[in-house]
Every structure is written in structure tokens, then in C-alpha cells.
Structure 1
Amino acid sequence: MPKLRVKLARRDEIAAATWAFTLGLDGQAFSFKPGQTIDLTYPNMPTEDPAGNRRTFSIASKPGLDHLQIATRVRGSGFKQSILQADLGTTLELDGPYGSFTLPNKPSSVVLLTGGIGVTPFRSMALDAAARSLEHALLMIHSNRTPEEAPFLEELQRLASEFRRFTYRPTMTQADRSKRPWNGDRRRVDRDYLSEVIPSQRDGSLYYAAGPERFVGAVVQILKAMGIDEDQIRFEEFPGY
């Protein structure tokens, strides 16, 4: 599969220490399904990184646009610092798409469980479902410490108000630390919480989990303890890098 050369077209801080990067396709065809990933390479990267100049990202935007969007927490790695400081117009190389972490074709009831920046593949799914008026019933449970740290919070709240088949349930586990008012859930994503918010009719539903490894591992174990069959569970971990 040949690499695509894309240009860094825009970057936006979407939450505390969390940035979205827009990659211009410059008219090149690129097809993908929401939930898939790309590998992004920074040729001649100016800052050294022991892990190299290549990273895997979930696509955060919906298909059919003239650009792609990815998002990540930016900490101290050379790769992330380089892309954060790169001039707009910098050329990057893209491989993909990869993965089968995608919604079924058949309309289904789907619960999307995510923590922090793990929301990116689910944002793509929700935007695409709304754009195409899909018949899937989507419930997204999104755990963050504070509203300031919640990527795409306002956008997803707005989308849920506009698209009736998408329900967005953010929960802030340390809302007392926030400088912004928060009137929503303040619960941890544990068995008691999921038993309350997940629809009681669970036969045939699908459960997708994405985010930090510890979050995903805990959620998968909770779902199994609730009697949900392994065949109904899909998950994708976001290791630190």
C-alpha cells in the first residue's frame, strides 16, 4: 500500500494538553471506515524520539472530507512535540487505513465506552452516523476527570441534541477540581454506574471500549461480570507513547 503525502493544515487545542491535528489530503483519494487507524510518519523529524518518527492514530473525523483529523494528548515525546511545533504546511506521510474496530452494517444497539482521548474513533462513528442518518442506536459513555480535560465535549453534547439516535453521557470523576460548572454525572465507570446507565435489554447489543489500557481492561472485565457475552464486546487500547 503506497504512502500518502499529507500536509499539516491546522491544529487546535481541544482540551487541556490535548490537540487535534488536521491533515490535508490535497485532492488525494482516501477511503476509510469510522473506527479505523492510520500510521503517521514525520520524515526528517527535528526532535529525537527513542520510539522513532512513526505513530498510530485513530481517525477522529468522518469519511468523505478533503482532510483527516487525529487527536492526541501532547506530553513529552519527541514525536508529539515535533508535530505540535511543526509549521503549518509541513509534509507528513500516511499509511492505512487499518483495523476492524468498526460498526456493523446491520442497524444495532451499540454502547461506546471511552476514557479521555480514547473518544477519537467514537467521534468518527457518531459524526458519520449523524451525517448518513444511520439507524444504529448509539450510547456513548465518556469518562474524564474534569470538563477541561474532556476532548470534543461541547461538540458531542451538541451532536446528541441534534441527532436523536445518539446519546452522549459524559461523566467527570474529579469535577470538584474544575473551574467550570458541571451539572452532569460525577461517577466512575464501575459496575454500579454501568448497571444504571446501560439499557437493561442487552441481548443483541454490542459494547465497544476504547481508551487507556487500564480503563479498557477494567471495563471489559465489568461487562463480562455483568453477564455480557465476549462475542458482544469489542475493544481497542491506547497505550502511552
Structure 2
Amino acid sequence: MLQQHKEIVQATVPVLQQHGETITTEFYRTLFEENPSLFNIFNPANQQNGGQARSLAASILAYAAHIDKLDQLGGMVNRITHKHASLEVQPEHYPIVGDHLLRAIRTVLGEAATPAVIDAWGAAYGQLAEIMTGVEQKLYTEGREQPGGWAGYAPLRVERKVVESETITSFHLASPTGAPLPSFLPGQYLAVKAQVPDSAFTQTRQYSLSQAANGTTYRISVKRESAPPHIAAAENGLISNHLHRSVHEGDTILAHVPQGDFVLRDNSKPVVLLSGGVGITPAICMAEHLARNSNSRPVLFVHATTQRRHHAFRDEVRALAAAYPHTRALVYYEKVSPADVQGRDYDLEGRITIDSLRPHLFEQATDYYYCGPVGFMAAVENVLDELNVPLSDRYSEAFAPDPSFVTELANA
């Protein structure tokens, strides 16, 4: 990529800040109108609520701002390439995306999209596509060639289906042949591919692996989603409801080898795991791994949920804390009922605050991992800011695009 191209791309950063979301909204509109088969890859609900457009706009803006120091974008590239790999995005998809992106830039910017600007962005996109496809092909090769690995999507048999709470159900999966399953890192996810009856397209969703690797089974724990008023029920919650209602023990589902970059860092620092709602799924996997494999690394498992009937893995977490002295659990209930017992069901009433959390934290430098709904994530960020926790000690994963472009930009 020529230096003059980099300078032009960087000069467009203010324009992207102003028009980025409009550009990506236009991009997705024409992309799907002319390539409807891509709905087999993209989640329609994220298109309807605008989340995908905001997420893409934030990523493009971050790329433009760092075009001459790409080493600072490693986290963003890893997150996107792992997601692409779980969706089986292939090199031939990139020219299609690039064409529609440049067309959207022309449409939105009009005369400001000069030939020089379009040439620069064409070169920038080509550079990014080369980086992404290189990483993705490596992930495909590793997934295929690792012990027990496979390419694409393979059938896994539902050995057990376990109700964990009013909204969360676990699926214990194994190879139909009894063959060993590939290992994975705590925090990674399993992509599940399904076609719901009467739906025109297949859909793929990523579900965190909620139990530490054992070589023979995977456990995913799925929250049954309901559709907000502004999103068609047929789109939001389509796959989670299908799994809850229609997939039973003995059935098979199609799954990808595990992917994801929200994983534990290998060091000796204490760990605080903060989860809200279904964000408990990667957190409990991390907690189990740390409890069983680290005799000296202190762990604080913090979980917040609305009430007892929404509290998944209550007994499992308490058992881990009881069996491993270096692991502690702290549970918040927003609503406590007369039947709830403090110290058994929950520890603190209300939402997580700095005043209620601070007495339980470690005095030395600590790694913080957090996952949950948008509001929970924002609250945790505020607490960590007040605690002056450096960004280098924070690791997070969002299960859906944030409704705020500002937040998506910060994530990117």
C-alpha cells in the first residue's frame, strides 16, 4: 500500500466519524439485495437493529485511524477473524464485500468521494483483506489438522439436555462415533449451524463453551432469547428457540471446531471473573479451568443476575468454591425473595457497585474478565475505571453489537 494511500485514508477519519454508520448501513442494504445468499452467514437480527452496521463502521474507523501502525489492531483483527472462521467466511467473499463497500462510500459521500479517495480505500481494503484471509486460512488449517479436528461443520450428538434456569438450557455434545473432540481454550465458543423449518436460510450462532475441555464432550449453554418489540420475532431468538424447543437428546447438530479470542492469559496474576446473566457461560468455563489447573492463582468469581429463577449453575459454582481454597464466589441478586438464603443462593442484594465489590478484590495487580448484557458491561467498565484498572488488565466479550456507536468504537 502506497504512502499516499495511507495519508488519504487517514485524512478521511473525520468523515468516517460523521458518516461511517450511514456508509455501512448503505453497504449492507445493497450487499443483501444483490447477494441474498449471504443471509446464510449474517445474523438478520443484527441487521434489523443496526448493530452490525455500527460495529462495522467502528472497525473501519479504527482501521483508518491506525493504517500506519497496524500492530495496534491485533485485538480487533483476532476477534473478527475468529468470528469469520466460525462462519466459514472464504477468500472469495472479500471481493464482493469490497465492491459494495466502495460503492457505499461513493453513494454517501457523493462528490467528496474523488477517484483518489476511492483508489486509496480500494488499496486499504485490499491490504486488510490480505491480512484477514491469511489469519483465517491459518485458523482453518489448525482446526482441520488438530487432533480430532474437522473442516467446516460436522455433526455432534446431543448426549444430554439439562435445564439450568428458567431461560438457560445446556446441551452436552459428543462425536456420533465416540471419537475424541478437539481441545479448546477457556472462554472460546462453538458455532452451531441450523435451518429452522419454514426459514429460507441456514443460520449460524456462536455459543460459549460452558465447561472446561475434557476431550470427549462439549457443553454449550443457550439462553432462550425473545424478540424486542422493534425486531421481528422470526429473526431474533430464531436459533435459540429452535434449540430449546426442537433439539432433543439423541439428535445431532452441526458445529464448527471451537473458535474465539476471549481466552485466559497465561500468567500468575489473580483473576476476577465478572458475569451478568448468560455471560456466566464463558466465566464458569474459565473458573473451572482455573480451579482445577492452578493451585496458587487466586480467583474471584462474581456473578450478577436478576433473581433465583434466572440463576444458572448455582450449585456448580458453589461446589467449585468449596473444593478449591483459592477460588471464591460472590453472587448478586437484583431481586431477593423470602425463599432465597444468603450465602447459599446469593451473597449481595442489588447490582454490582464499586463499594460492594471493592472489599472482595485482591490488593495486587489483577486480570479482569467480564461478559454480559450491554448495561452490565457498561457498569463494569465504570467500576474498573473508578478502580484505575489499566486497559491492559481488562478482557471482555460482547455477545451482540452494542447499540452505541461510541461503545463499538471503543471496543474496536
State the alpha-carbon separation in 2 of the partners of residues 198 and 106 from structure 1: 18
| Structure 1 segments of 4+ aligned residues over 4 angstroms from their partners | none
8 Å Cα contact 2:183/2:215 also seen in 1: no
**Number of the residue aligned with 2:56:** none
Q: TM-score, normalised by structure 1?
A: 0.89
State the alpha-carbon separation in 2 of the partners of residues 182 and 146 from structure 1: 12
8 Å Cα contact 1:34/1:125 also seen in 2: yes
Map residues 38-53 of structure 1 onto 2, 5 A cutoff.
38-42=190-194, 44-46=195-197, 48=199, 52-53=202-203
Match of 2:290 among 115, 124, 129: 129
State the alpha-carbon separation in 2 of the partners of residues 217 and 227 from structure 1: 15
**Number of the residue aligned with 2:241:** 81
**Number of the residue aligned with 2:251:** 90
8 Å Cα contact 1:111/1:138 also seen in 2: yes
What SS does the corresponding residue of 1:6 show, helix, strand or coil?
strand
State the alpha-carbon separation in 1 of the partners of residues 280 and 200 from structure 2: 26
State the alpha-carbon separation in 1 of the partners of residues 181 and 166 from structure 2: 33
State the alpha-carbon separation in 2 of the partners of residues 166 and 41 from structure 1: 35
Map residues 1-241 of structure 1 onto 2, 5 A cutoff.
1=140, 2=151, 3-25=153-175, 26-42=178-194, 44-46=195-197, 48=199, 52-76=202-226, 77-84=237-244, 85-176=246-337, 179-183=339-343, 184-199=347-362, 201-202=363-364, 204-239=365-400
After alignment, is 82-91 or 61-70 more displaced?
82-91
State the alpha-carbon separation in 2 of the partners of residues 47 and 194 from structure 1: 48
Q: 1:136 to 1:46 in 2, by over 3 A?
A: farther
State the alpha-carbon separation in 2 of the partners of residues 49 and 83 from structure 1: 18
Deviation at 1:227, TM superposition (A): 1.0
Q: 1:49 to 1:140 in 2, by over 3 A?
A: farther
State the alpha-carbon separation in 2 of the partners of residues 89 and 35 from structure 1: 26
State the alpha-carbon separation in 1 of the partners of residues 379 and 264 from structure 2: 22
8 Å Cα contact 1:49/1:78 also seen in 2: no
State the alpha-carbon separation in 2 of the partners of residues 180 and 162 from structure 1: 23
Q: How many residues align?
A: 235
| Residue-by-residue CA offset, 1:99-157 (whole Å, 9 max, x unaligned) | 22222222220111111111111111122223334432110110011122111011101
What SS does the corresponding residue of 1:159 show, helix, strand or coil?
helix
Deviation at 1:49, TM superposition (A): 8.5
Q: TM-score, normalised by structure 2?
A: 0.53
What SS does the corresponding residue of 2:170 show, helix, strand or coil?
strand
8 Å Cα contact 2:212/2:286 also seen in 1: yes
8 Å Cα contact 2:181/2:217 also seen in 1: no
8 Å Cα contact 1:209/1:220 also seen in 2: no
8 Å Cα contact 1:49/1:79 also seen in 2: no
State the alpha-carbon separation in 2 of the partners of residues 20 and 9 from structure 1: 11
Which has the larger strand fraction?
A: 1
CA RMSD of aligned residues (A): 2.1
